[in-house]
Amino acid sequence: MYIHNQAKRLQALREKHMLTTRDLAKIIGVSNGVISRWCQGKSYPSRKHTKIICDHFKVEPAWFIYGISSGGSEDIDLTKLSTENKIMILQTYNALLDSQNDKGNECKNGEY
């Protein structure tokens, strides 16, 4: 069974680049407490903040969010899927993000 663990990936990126939560907060434009909650899995970055994280660390959003990599070196290898199935995954991902945003889950911590 696949386990979603974006918090561990964010923590790993932060540690790999030797950044404190305060340093990362400044880069992303949120408070230190928000970074702490993201790294603990208590809340998750919005789409906007996910893009900033991925751009800064030069990682694919699919890897950061779901552990999916087109290169096959991470949790799930997209290269094994047909183009049709890759599109289906991206559509599902976007639908889930839209649903999450509609429910207000991205604003749990009041920081956005």
Q: At residue 1, does pLDDT exceed 60?
A: no
Contacts of 64 (CB under 8 A, 6+ apart): 6, 9, 10, 13, 50, 53, 54, 57
Contact 23, 30 (CB under 8 A): no
What is the amino acid identity at position 66? Y
* Res 71: pLDDT: 57
Name the band, by pLDDT with cuts 50, 70 and 90, for residue 70.
low
CB-CB contact of 11 with 45 (8 Å): no
Report the topology of domain 6-104. 434 Repressor (Amino-terminal Domain) (1.10.260)
Distance, first Cα to last Cα, the chain: 33
pLDDT mean over 18-41: 93
Q: What average pLDDT does this structure show over 90-102?
A: 75
